[in-house]
A and B are shown apart, each in its own frame.
Chain A
Amino acid sequence: MLIIVTYDVSTETKAGCRRLRRVAQVCKNYGQRVQKSVFECQVNDVQFEQLRRKLLKEINKDEDNLRLYRLVGQRDNYVETYGQSRTLFFDEPLII
């Protein structure tokens, strides 16, 4: 399934900047960045649980906000993209 992860991490303090970096890294480990704080992650059930657990460990619930959207089924049915985008499809041929 495709998970859309979006977050707002407060960067007013040094600790906030650190959290921002760490949240982004967790997302990167599971998917790809499509906008500044929006990630698309193609994962199975187990990986989704891991992703959620790791994200919850990083954020500070008093200051930050995290949203996870679960899209089940064909990606094309849910996602429309306009403008500048360089999304990759990890299940298509990966050749460089």
Chain B
Amino acid sequence: MKQFLNTLYVMTQGAYVCLDHETVKIEVEGKVQLQVPLHHLGAIVTMGNVMMSPFIMARCADDGRAVVILDRNGQFKCRMVGKTSGNVLLRQAQYEAVREQERTLAIARNIVAGKVKNARQILLRGIRESDNEEKEEIDALKKASDTISNVLFHLKDAKDIDEVRGFEGEAAEAYFQSFDRMVKKSERKFFTMNGRSRRPPLDPVNSLLSFLYTLLLNDCVSALEGVGLDSQMGFLHALRPGRPSLGLDLMEEFRSILADRLALTLINRKQVTAKHFESRPGGAIYLNDEGRKAVVVAYQKRKQDEFHHPILDSKAPFGLIPHIQARLLARHLRGDLEAYTPVLYS
């Protein structure tokens, strides 16, 4: 089993990342700020104006270490791809599965079931943790979780991919309509949300979620590429040039457990507050430098938390689960597993 390796985030503007023997060296204004042995790192993520020497890039490509470049807002810009690797036969199996409607439908249905079920768990936890006096809140959360249960019940009868997408939309709408009910009353003045908005996010909760989803997507794409799958050839998400459809597919089941729950914790524990956001012309709201740093630290810590994987029946850090799921998906596509089973949080 692959070891869960750390990710190095370089967010200091003007930093220079280079290779020094078997270590990565980061210099800021000519001074060495950090030197890490390469064997600790599974990925290097840079944000904004960060320079990287060709030697370190080549070394990472050789070792299969992910190199991802984001802009200062955490928007994905590019990832470095080395030689075409992985198993051709696996990719061929993947393309064939995408062409076969029945198989695509089965996988997409399971992905959505996982996503929706995990989202419901978050709502149920929200209900458990809210004050008993706040009847209205609890009712709203209960209503959303009922809608989701209903979706789960009907999902298995979905006859085509559009129906699956329709169910997913229905559940997502109910979920995000009541999402900010899980924010503590004292924080709700600033952290309110009116459904999901993106490109641009129009409120702090949405910008926090968008940023976390970007981090998560990078991890999911790396996990897929790591097992040799084509991250653009998805089942649930429509294929579009440049879109990591399979990455988005894989991310679905993790959104609520890795990103949404973390966002709520950050808000409720006041680790992220109004001073971490800035508004832009046109109503967009983004995290500022300080805010992004706080979120990245929390996200990295979260990935080290242990989680009981129901199928493997063993403990694994959250950060490893995308890799485990990518492997399960690969095994299903090859025909070794009857179905793709999403990870379920309880």
- How many residues of B are in contact with the other chain, CB < 8 A? 29
Least Cβ distance of A33 to chain B in Å? 9
Instruction: Please tell me which one of the listed residues A32, A47, A92, A95 contacts residue B39 in the complex, with CB atoms under 8 A apart.
Output: A47
A91 to B36: give the CA distance in the assembly, Å.
10
Question: Which residues of A are found within 8 Å of B21, using beta-carbon distances?
Answer: 25, 28-29
Chain A-chain B contacts (Cβ-Cβ < 8 Å), number = 64
Q: Which of A3-39 contact B (CB under 8 A)?
A: 25, 28-32
B34 contacts partner chain A, Cβ-Cβ < 8 Å:
yes
B3 contacts partner chain A, Cβ-Cβ < 8 Å:
yes
- How many residues of A are in contact with the other chain, CB < 8 A? 19
Instruction: Please tell me which one of the listed residues B22, B34, B293 contacts residue A30 in the complex, with CB atoms under 8 A apart.
Output: B22
Question: Which residues of A are found within 8 Å of B39, using beta-carbon distances?
Answer: 30, 43, 47
A79 contacts partner chain B, Cβ-Cβ < 8 Å:
no
Least Cβ distance of A31 to chain B in Å? 6
A94 x B37 contact (CB < 8 A):
no
B9 x A28 contact (CB < 8 A):
no
| Stretch with Cβ within 8 A of A (4 or more), from B80-88, B165-173, B295-303 | B295-303
A96 to B9: give the CA distance in the assembly, Å.
6
B23 x A94 contact (CB < 8 A):
no
Q: Which of A74-96 contact B (CB under 8 A)?
A: 88, 90-96
A62 to B3: give the CA distance in the assembly, Å.
39
Least Cβ distance of A45 to chain B in Å? 12
Question: Which residues of B are found within 8 Å of A29, using beta-carbon distances?
Answer: 21-23, 37
A30 to B40: give the CA distance in the assembly, Å.
9
Question: Which residues of A are found within 8 Å of B23, using beta-carbon distances?
Answer: 28-29
Instruction: Please tell me which one of the listed residues A25, A28, A91 contacts residue B40 in the complex, with CB atoms under 8 A apart.
Output: A91
B10 contacts partner chain A, Cβ-Cβ < 8 Å:
yes
A41 to B22: give the CA distance in the assembly, Å.
13
A42 to B21: give the CA distance in the assembly, Å.
17
Quick one: closest B residue to A42, CB to CB? B40
B35 x A28 contact (CB < 8 A):
yes
Question: Which residues of A are found within 8 Å of B34, using beta-carbon distances?
Answer: 88, 94, 96
Question: Which residues of B are found within 8 Å of A93, using beta-carbon distances?
Answer: 6, 9, 296-297, 300-301
Instruction: Please tell me which one of the listed residues A32, A42, A91, A92 contacts residue B35 in the complex, with CB atoms under 8 A apart.
Output: A32
B177 contacts partner chain A, Cβ-Cβ < 8 Å:
no
Least Cβ distance of B43 to chain A in Å? 10
Quick one: closest A residue to B22, CB to CB? A29
3 closest Cβ pairs, A-B complex: A29-B22, A93-B300, A90-B40
Chain A residues with a Cβ under 8 A of chain B? 25, 28-32, 41-44, 47, 88, 90-96
* 7 pairs of residues in contact across A and B, judged by CB atoms under 8 Å: A29-B22, A42-B40, A91-B304, A92-B300, A94-B9, A96-B10, A96-B34
